[in-house]
Structure 1
Amino acid sequence: MTNQKRTRVCSNPNTKRNISELPDELVLKILSFLSTKHAVATSLLSKRWKSVWTMVPRLKYEVKGNSYRSERFLDESLFAHQSHFLESISLTIDAYKDIGPWIRTALHHHHCHLREIKIDANYIARTKLPPEMFTCKTLVVLKLKGIVMDVVEPLTTVCLPSLETLHVVSSSRLFDSGSLRMLLSSCNVLTDLIIISKSTFYDDDVFDVSWCKTLVSLKLEGFKDVIMSRSNRISSPEAPTPSSLPFLKTLHASRMVNSKKDSFRRLLSNCPLLSDLALEEKTSRVLLNSDIAMPCLQRLSIITKVKDSTHLCKLLNSYISKLATIAPSFKYFDIHELLFDTRTCFCARVRLTRDPSTLEDARIFLRIVHLEMCIRSERSGKMLVHLLQCFINLKVLKLIKHVYEQGFLYVWEPPRSVPECLLSSLEVLEWRGYTGVYGDRELVSYLLNHALCLKTAKISSEPYVVGNKQQTLKDLAAMSRGSKPCELVLN
């Protein structure tokens, strides 16, 4: 039955005519979103489509296991592709592969136009990277992800004059300190750098941010420390220190096993455009103990363990109070907690108002108008109650339930008195991942019933969590609302 339906669709003359009448530019753009396997399959549609796929600018391959068939398809399609069109190649593999021949084919066959290489190898794949990958003069984006990655030969020559984006996520020590310095020092237009080590291979190394002064975004994980070389030291100790990272706007550093406050203090003092900063609490304390001028900082994220709601409020008060003086543009503060040792679970995010009339108020919590928070246990439910009582001017409340989280809010206890923000200021309520069971139902019912100024309530449930989604939506629609004009959006 399926084959017959497919035949009828393909044999429809109107369908053929409409597809054939599309301009080549649009057809190639559509095919670029498909895997190469599906793009090649379009060659069976008609004679007109037989070679269209060979002009697709992006090739995407998935090599599963040791399949001779998939490897042969990769070999043949790479050679058949028109050399003057390929701009990007992406390889996803799940077994040991020497990908060198494929990368060399792409580099040699399309050396004038290849701008992007992406390699994603899962936990059972051991990947060998050819040295030619690091001498491609047209390469703009290079993204490498895998548990075990090695360079076939030690890097002795690096030539990546066009590279703007470099992402390396691996548990193996892909580059030693010398090779990494040589690599980064040769990339004169590099703006986006991510190096994440999932093991301890970089524990003995420090990362010198002075290796690449053109960076706009930098994310590091698993190094010993982040430092700045003193090669730019000027003769007069009284003279101001020149900015070593004059373009850096985003800096995320975590799992620094032996970080020192002085190194981070010096680093942060030399990033005049820094607007997004993420650090572990032990590292971020340098902000509390220093008067570092950070004129452009808008967001601070810290990774820490939150004991209870009192501890959470103390963290909020300490950081916001300090940043209110050293970072005049400061707006957002995020707190993350570790989940399963390696991933971070979003815990809480607040946004401060920029209303000039409130900037002089010493009570920091009066300035918080936006709260996002994960709801996944009784502990988080108690934290929410405490925060609602503190943030008396709260206007937006977003509650989030991530797909991979298994916790439930089994019981939710309402506060003894209704928080003032519900009575006088809360206008927007959003809940993503609503389960419709246990404390979730009790909490959303309480919020809808007591939020007297609410204008919009948007609640989305997950079908794989909620047994009967239609019934859950009916229950939500039937709940009483304290604000009659409130628009309830359910999906």
Structure 2
Amino acid sequence: MDSSSSRPKLKSVPQIKINTWIKTAVNSKVENVEIYDETLDKFSFEMPSCIFNLNTITVLKLSGVTVKTPYVDLPSLKVLHLNKVLFPNVKSFQDLLYGCPLLQDLALKIWGTTDPHRYERFSINKEELKNLISADVSFYSFTTLESLSNVKALRIHRIGFSPLPDTTIFYNLIHLEISYYSYSSDETILQCLRNCPKLETLTIDKV
């Protein structure tokens, strides 16, 4: 758990030892938790459930780990960054978001499930993310972007797999970054811009 560029890796450290570290941090009412498994054996480390029921934690950043928690209650969490995180199914991911009522900053870059229907898109109730200010997401994960419509800053990765799923209007959005494939329709990008009436800053990255 470290926010610096020289953060320690989990290589060759037994899970039971890491669990002990995490439980000790939990007992100390930790506020910032960052866990990165950068070894070749991805997803071998399973996050202990105690992390997801901690009322003091405000920042949670995970990469290269597995999350299998039946219940989430993170009443103080404001920052959630997930990269290369494995869930048992889509519902468990939704439950994680629903358990963070004060969430303001969401980064969802690469994630997956062990469920046979893992490639299905998902939807999130807009009211569950009503405090969200900033989002960094992969477009093709969502059935609708309405749950993100309150954000002021939005980064969307890899538009191009399909047309926009809806015509959500982002009334508060002032900063937008779009990353899209070269074969995407120009109309798709134009639709994004039409849906952002207050936009001040735009960055477009054509892959």
Q: What is the TM-score with the length of structure 2 in the denominator?
A: 0.77
Give the letter aligned to residue 142 of structure 2: D
If each structure's helix is expressed as a fraction of its own residues, which one has the higher value? 1
What percent identity do the matched residue pairs reach?
Answer: 24
Give the letter aligned to residue 104 of structure 1: K
Deviation at 1:299, TM superposition (A): 2.2
What does the per-residue CA deviation read over 1:199-223, in whole Å, with 9 as the maximum and x for residues that have no partner? 7975323343624121111111374
Q: Is the 8 A contact 2:176 2:199 kept in 1?
A: yes
Give the letter aligned to residue 162 of structure 1: S
SS at match of 1:124: coil
- Counterpart in the other structure of 2:152: 249
Q: Is the 8 A contact 1:139 1:162 kept in 2?
A: yes
Provide the alpha-carbon RMSD of the alignment.
3.2
Q: Is the 8 A contact 2:53 2:72 kept in 1?
A: yes
User: Following superposition of structure 1 onto structure 2, how do residues 23-34 of structure 1 map, counting pairs within 5 Å?
Assistant: none
SS at match of 1:132: helix
Deviation at 1:286, TM superposition (A): 2.8
C-alpha distance 157-277 of structure 1, shift in aligned 2 (>3 A): same
Q: What is the TM-score with the length of structure 1 in the denominator?
A: 0.35
Larger relative contact order (Cα-Cα within 8 Å, sequence gap ≥ 6): 2
Quote the Cα distance in structure 2 between the aligned partners of 1:284 and 1:225.
20
C-alpha distance 223-288 of structure 1, shift in aligned 2 (>3 A): closer
Q: Say which of 136, 139, 142 aligns to 1:219.
A: 136
Quote the Cα distance in structure 2 between the aligned partners of 1:283 and 1:161.
41
Deviation at 1:155, TM superposition (A): 1.9
- Counterpart in the other structure of 2:98: 185
1:129 aligns to 2:47 (yes or no):
yes
Structure 1 residue ranges without an equivalent (≥5): 1-58, 63-89, 230-243, 305-336, 338-491
Q: Is the 8 A contact 2:2 2:33 kept in 1?
A: no
- Structure of larger gyration radius: 1
1:150 aligns to 2:66 (yes or no):
yes
Give the letter aligned to residue 277 of structure 1: L
Aligned length: 194
Deviation at 1:185, TM superposition (A): 1.4
- Counterpart in the other structure of 2:77: 163
Quote the Cα distance in structure 2 between the aligned partners of 1:133 and 1:203.
27
Give the letter aligned to residue 295 of structure 1: P
User: Following superposition of structure 1 onto structure 2, how do residues 59-458 of structure 1 map, counting pairs within 5 Å?
Assistant: 60=2, 92-95=9-12, 97-98=14-15, 99-108=18-27, 110-111=28-29, 114-125=30-41, 126-146=44-64, 149-151=65-67, 154-170=68-84, 172-174=85-87, 176-197=89-110, 203-208=119-124, 210=126, 211-221=128-138, 223-228=140-145, 245=148, 247-255=150-158, 258-263=161-166, 265-266=167-168, 269=169, 271-279=170-178, 280=180, 282=184, 285-288=187-190, 292=194, 294-304=196-206, 337=207
